[in-house]
Amino acid sequence: MPEKPLHVLLADDDEDDRLIFKEALEDIKIKTNVITVNDGIELMEYLTRTDVRLPDVVFLDLNMPRKNGMQCLEEIRSSDALKHLTIAIYSTSGAERDIEETFVKGANVYIKKPNDFSTLKKVVEEAMRINWQYHISGINKESFMLSL
């Protein structure tokens, strides 16, 4: 495991969800730096800045004002500079159709927002761990799909 922290970016319009997510990341064994943005427009602005390091994982809420998660996902996957990013969908929907659609559009991880904090910690840690496995083993990320 890396001693250096992983860079994590979360796009979510709900302030409480952002706060809980940050707390969950602080509590897991894998060290992370978290940056949060409030919607899809802010996210795409951040990702296209040239003065910042791209995140190792982007967590993306599907339901956001101005630009939703699905639109961001499509933009990211059609951009040469961004298409290699690991995208984890972080959503309240657990419907199988929604899950499959995001994978078809190129998501790597799908997390249904859990109702309790300990489950959240567990799934976020699992997502980070698997992402790390892909990162170090040089396996084609195309087959990286994880539904939690």
Partner 1 sequence: MANLQEHSLSVIMNILIKYDISFTCKAILQEQLEKLAVDFNIIGLNEIEFTKPLSSSQTERLKLLLQNYGIEVIENQKVALVQKIKDTIVDMVWNDDILPNIATSTYLADALNHSYGYLSNLFSEITYSTIENYIIFQKIERVKQMTISENYTLTEISYKLNYSSVAHLSNQFKKTTGLTPSAFQRIVKKKRENRAAVIN
Q: Which residues bind partner 1 (CB under 8 A)?
A: 1, 29-30, 96, 100, 103-104, 106, 110, 129-130, 133, 136-139, 143, 145-148
Closer residue to partner 1 (CB): 39 or 56: 56
Quote the least distance from Cβ 49 to partner 1, whole Å. 20
Q: Which of 59, 46, 56 is nearest to 10 (CA)?
A: 59
Quote the least distance from Cβ 123 to partner 1, whole Å. 10
Quote the least distance from Cβ 144 to partner 1, whole Å. 9
| Percentages of the chain per state (helix, strand, coil), in multiples of 5 | 45, 20, 40
How far apart are the two ends of the chain, measured CA to CA in Å? 22
Using alpha carbons only, how large is the chain's radius of gyration in Å? 14
Quote the least distance from Cβ 43 to partner 1, whole Å. 23
Closer residue to partner 1 (CB): 52 or 139: 139
Bridge partners of 10? 36, 59
